[in-house]
Structure 1
Amino acid sequence: MLDKVKDKVKNSIEAAQTFPHERLHVYAKALQLTAQAAVWTAAWDKKHAIVDHLSRASESILFNLAEAARQYGAPGRVRVVDFAVG
């Protein structure tokens, strides 16, 4: 029983020490995509625009998720949803 309580406290402390976007499952998937995009583009000829575009787009996903995750309160959330909807 005591071990379960210790684990719960440890998990709570670790969660409090992470950034909000690091707790999102979609952020982990976006990190995987960015890493995979780097692998793909490493083998491609750099003269093609798709290399630069894929690299910048995958990084942009990460930045946008991080920015959206840190929005607190109604005005910030409304702005994020407005951008998401288009």
Structure 2
Amino acid sequence: MGEYNMNIEKYNKIFMELFEVEEAELNADFNFGVEKWDSLAHMELIAQLEDEFEIMFETDDITHFGGYENGKAILAKYGVEL
């Protein structure tokens, strides 16, 4: 349980800092295309997640990482529990 809490906190922190949003805004509606989530921010998000969780996303996963909730499922493929 402790690892779960730490991982979700790290995940949320990356989103909050990169997109300058409050944690309450992170939900199923937080997707590519919201304010500040453009292609450059997308690549920065991927880079930060790879660094934080010590993983390397496959190209398909980078392309399909289009939302806050979807990202959780993709990270699970790499053994990161959120």
User: Where is the helix percentage greater, Structure 1 or Structure 2?
Assistant: 1
Larger radius of gyration: 1
Please, what TM-score do these two structures have when normalized by structure 2?
0.34
Please, what TM-score do these two structures have when normalized by structure 1?
0.33
